[in-house]
Homo-oligomer: A and B are copies of this chain.
Amino acid sequence: MRDDNDNKMVQCPTPVQQHVNITIAHGGGGSQMHQLIEDLFIKIFDSEELKRAHDGAVFNGQKKRFAFTTDSFVVSPLFFPGGNIGSLAVLGTVNDLAMCGARPLYISAGFIIEEGFSVEMLNQITHSMKIAADKTNAKIVTGDTKIVEHGKGDGVYINTSGIGIMDHELDISPTSIEPGDSIIINRDIGRHGIAIMSVREGLQFETSIESDIAPLANSIIALIENDIRIRCLRDLTRGGLASALTELAGSSRLHFVLEERSIPVSSAVNNACEILGLDPLQVANEGTFILFAPQSDAEKALNILRNDLNWPEASKIGRVVDDENGLVTLVTVLGAERIITMPAGEQLPRIC
């Protein structure tokens, strides 16, 4: 099944200390800080580990491989079509675990909150985090809160780190990519970046474009359980498809050849990119990934993605060839071939 994409702003059943704003005292280590942590984090995240009020969470190890990842989120605006910084913070890290081939287990949450920030808004954000964590069967088990003076932050920044476990023996890594592998994408590109930019620039497009933000772990687990020999995975966040592929081509020292006609881009995103002067290949995503697998597994993987996991736009977008040049080239719809480079200069700032 496809992970549900519904990470919109949450109605809070019991808003805590509404209409109050964060003060410096909320970060001082005293009673106000403890009340804030109790009301907004321990109650909402609702994990046994947090309730123990210890310096960290303790869990039992297993003789399997684990993955460990971290991401800070500074997205602006904090709320955008399809999600908010809270759902983004949890799903971003859960997806990084998924890209290692891991099943997400534990999430940490570190908040850097600007003095004056609305407690009600923080409440909405933490509720979204809880909903996102529940969807991925991950638990928020440890956290931290810091308050900075007004003008030294921008509402709230959130760091999440995550631990996941590997239920398989695959070596999913840039170094596992081999000549002949197919490059497959799960869906159309560019939605997250355009959703953020449309709010930030106050743009209205014909059809509203929502972020593609979605949990990806269940899709990856299903592919592995169906014996797809995944060599490498990468979610297409900052810098988009272009950045992910050029980085992987560089690490693997192989040549990736893309077919422009096979890369799914919605007409809404294409139109918005034209207006904004952006290349869809370089625009950020938050629920979009590429996978490398042997050519003989490609059709089966596409079938599973399209039919079982509800990614109807899943597509084989290219292949790996045996030139040790570390290049990514694109065969355009007109048949010309051009080199894809890593984006340079100012991209879209604070997209995640």
Hey, which bits of chain A sit against chain B, CB under 8 A? Answer: 23-25, 27-34, 52-74, 96-97, 99-100, 102, 106, 108-112, 141-144, 146-149, 151-154, 157, 159, 161-166, 173-175, 233-235, 237-240, 243, 247, 251, 282, 284, 341-350, 352
Chain A, interface SS category: mixed
Query: Of B24, B34, B57, B154, which is within 8 A of A68 by CB?
Result: B57
Residue of B nearest to A51 (CB): B251
Q: Are B108's CB and A68's CB within 8 A?
A: yes
Query: Of B69, B111, B146, which is within 8 A of A108 by CB?
Result: B69
- Asked whether A27 and B349 contact (CB < 8 A) given A59-B66, A74-B146, the answer is yes
A106 to chain B: closest CB distance in Å? 6
Q: Are B344's CB and A100's CB within 8 A?
A: no
Complex-state Cα separation, A53 to B57, whole angstroms: 27
CB neighbours (8 Å) of A52 from chain B are 173-175
A24 to chain B: closest CB distance in Å? 5
CB neighbours (8 Å) of A238 from chain B are 27-29, 33
Q: Are B69's CB and A56's CB within 8 A?
A: yes
Residue of B nearest to A53 (CB): B251
Q: Are B30's CB and A72's CB within 8 A?
A: no
Q: Are A58's CB and B53's CB within 8 A?
A: no
CB neighbours (8 Å) of A235 from chain B are 55
Interface centre among A29, A63, A159 (most CB of B within 10 A): A29
Q: Are A166's CB and B58's CB within 8 A?
A: yes
Q: Are A25's CB and B166's CB within 8 A?
A: no
CB neighbours (8 Å) of A346 from chain B are 23-25, 28
- Asked whether A74 and B166 contact (CB < 8 A) given A27-B349, A112-B157, the answer is no
CB neighbours (8 Å) of A147 from chain B are 349
Residue of B nearest to A148 (CB): B74
Query: Of B30, B68, B251, which is within 8 A of A342 by CB?
Result: B30
